[in-house]
Structure 1
């Protein structure tokens, strides 16, 4: 049995949904289908999830939400019209949208979560109606009915362990199950969503709970590539990669597959295949456990991301001072800030952050607190910072990889602010200026893939 997830672009309109139907019906093993909300039909279009957020904000701000509600429903109506679904069948779905502002929610955050989740829910219900009209024994399976329980964090929930026990009863169902992605229910019955793009997570949870032989993730790209196609022209597609290779690359910008979705798949040792809805016959990329994996290349991929910043601290005899790092971490805890890395020397220390968690005010307050408590000789906030990840299982047994990387960057006069290699020896992290990052990615790619 296979679990199959379709992204928003795959379900954006009637013709795209027809492609989805063809994929589902082409393979009898595809028994559990996870839906996203309708995505963009063109570059200038708006995703239904963003419209639902707008709908929720109108409700919270007591503004007229009827135009936004009409805009949302038009997206579903267009898909239904393409498949000639009657208004009688559609009315309950429309009524759910209309009644969202009238429902009781624990707080505003749970209201937002419920509004967002209905993009996936209504799309799953609509896909079920379309399949049933074509004579397929399909059933809409709501996360509440399925027993997909999540934590009480309304817009960044985590799956609860008992979910996997609850899902066991659905393993041998004879119906095609259509499940909305992106959300679950709390133990008190409230809807809570995963982080944005969380339909990938739903698919992985179902794959583990149902002990699927394969989790297929259909999106709008042919494969996962060894480098960003916006940086490297026609990069090599990755045929097979390991879970941890994708985790490492996702950290620095590989966004085809939600990196948190790997955790349930890893726990269940479920292989994942990423494929293109528009070209389903292409092989795509298989993501597999590390055991018995044999790589063909030294590196599997290289990626970069600019959403980092660094805090540089200098103080003489820093290495002799007991508790310096502890005091620094306590300040981070006080401001609810997580850090990514902390390379250090005998007299200095650099802390690398995901800067998306900061406002300018919060950054200034934290730096001021550090100055007061630790009294460094020198403190500098470095906003011009990018992280590169060079990843590959083949690096573990290859001598001279670092030399190849640094020599290729030196030829382009690219300076490195930080070098870090993990204990697994399958990844190397570099810090550079943001303007240098795309050049560095291109140089490293061509060094290993020419």
Structure 2
């Protein structure tokens, strides 16, 4: 029998109505043997996610501030769902007690405290959902990441899976029980909870899928598919029903937020098909992500995306020694704990493209001063509010004229290019543009590469 790992995001588990849909999805397919859950998300637009409530809870404990109102708010989120599914007071008691007892545990430091508090959003939701499935007649049990074998590096709020974990995870493949696993966290070798980066439940799902050698990893969210462009920018963009891992990685870098891009790595390593589907419309086809796909020559581009909030440090010096300059720049960035994204160059100049949210006004001033001292440039200045615009598609390989079509479309919208980069893989083009032109640029490129759709 085929086996699937399924993951449900916070919007899919935000309230009892949504949880009911998830129950029916699990019951509808007996191939869905492993269910990874996120913490309850927002019930309405200005609601607060349970994870954010837990972060507030942790910060109050650290600051020795009152916590009664925040614990009541967290308990009520789970209690509302439990009540709707007739979970008894005795069954719910361990969940309530776990919330109240979080401050009483011993933590190595505040980073581990924060990780443990955050992880309980998923942990308690998995415990509750396992109870709900059992109540609904499904043979289901909670599986803790420790027991599952999800061992991670010792970085409390930015952990990574330890590769040796997959052998232990694989021992669960023969189970005929639906196992409910909390996403977002694992345990370090000392038995302490460490979380993945925010959105890491996707990562847990992919880790489980690779570990148990699943035939498919289904990721349920709140959209029918991944679209060729942002629907808030382009009206009714086409759905991408099949894309490759490489396309998804490229588009995720540029702002596609449907799927946590780090979660693709275990799926790529295990060559496991990933399918993005909608909890609210589970019958929709969704988007399949695989290692390869059939190319439609009429549509070489699969998707267009942009990511804002970049800046560029422009440096010019006559008779520029690029090797020495680059080494000095990278050394200085490293000393400040900064990363860069691109470093396009000319004969006598180069630009360091980086995410501007790394910089404060004070840090920016200090960085520029140090670059001036180290490089003695003829000119140096920083420009803010760039956006990086990506055009991605497996069909772009070995095709001529696509760059010309893209730049012509941008020129017609009076979009000035501050950087152009053709990916070495030949499946992407990247443009640096002014941030306030991003939406117009996306619209123009969509109309160019997806005409009459």
TM-score band, normalised by the shorter chain?
Answer: over 0.9
1:258 aligns with 2:257: no
The equivalent residue for 1:235 is 237
Unaligned runs of 5+ in 1: none
Give CA-to-partner distance per residue, 1:225-261, whole Å, 9 cap, x none: 0000111011011010000101000111100000000
1:7-156 counterparts in 2 under 5 A?
Answer: 7-156=9-158
Q: Is the 8 A contact 2:309 2:435 kept in 1?
A: no
Shift of 1:370: 0.6
Q: Is the 8 A contact 1:219 1:275 kept in 2?
A: yes
Shift of 1:295: 4.1
Whole-Å separation in 1 of the counterparts to 2:361 and 2:174: 53
The equivalent residue for 1:357 is 358
Shift of 1:305: 1.1
Give CA-to-partner distance per residue, 1:9-35, whole Å, 9 cap, x none: 000011100000110010110000000
Q: Is the 8 A contact 1:242 1:293 kept in 2?
A: no
The equivalent residue for 1:324 is 325
Shift of 1:324: 1.6
The equivalent residue for 1:272 is 274
Shift of 1:413: 1.3
Give CA-to-partner distance per residue, 1:307-354, whole Å, 9 cap, x none: 211111011110x46512111111111111111000000100001102
Q: Is the 8 A contact 2:422 2:430 kept in 1?
A: yes
What SS is found at the alignment partner of 1:323? helix
Give runs of ≥4 in structure 1 deviating > 4 Å.
none
Give CA-to-partner distance per residue, 1:186-228, whole Å, 9 cap, x none: 0001101011110000000000001000000000011000000
The equivalent residue for 1:367 is 368
Shift of 1:165: 1.0
Whole-Å separation in 1 of the counterparts to 2:421 and 2:379: 23
Q: Is the 8 A contact 1:404 1:447 kept in 2?
A: yes
1:413 aligns with 2:411: no
Whole-Å separation in 1 of the counterparts to 2:239 and 2:448: 16
Whole-Å separation in 1 of the counterparts to 2:99 and 2:29: 33
Shift of 1:72: 0.5
Give CA-to-partner distance per residue, 1:76-119, whole Å, 9 cap, x none: 00000110100000101111111100101111001000000000
Whole-Å separation in 1 of the counterparts to 2:129 and 2:167: 27
Q: How many residues align?
A: 448
1:287 aligns with 2:289: yes
Q: Is the 8 A contact 2:130 2:142 kept in 1?
A: yes
What SS is found at the alignment partner of 2:162? coil
Whole-Å separation in 1 of the counterparts to 2:441 and 2:323: 38
1:168-317 counterparts in 2 under 5 A?
Answer: 168-290=170-292, 293-295=294-296, 297-317=299-319
Q: Is the 8 A contact 1:314 1:379 kept in 2?
A: yes
Q: Per the alignment, do residues 417 and 99 of structure 1 end up closer, same or farther by CA in structure 2, a change over 3 Å counting?
A: same
Q: Per the alignment, do residues 237 and 322 of structure 1 end up closer, same or farther by CA in structure 2, a change over 3 Å counting?
A: closer
Whole-Å separation in 2 of the counterparts to 1:322 and 1:415: 29
Shift of 1:132: 1.1
1:393-404 counterparts in 2 under 5 A?
Answer: 393-404=394-405
Q: Per the alignment, do residues 224 and 317 of structure 1 end up closer, same or farther by CA in structure 2, a change over 3 Å counting?
A: same
TM-score, normalised via structure 1 length: 0.98
Q: Is the 8 A contact 2:309 2:385 kept in 1?
A: no
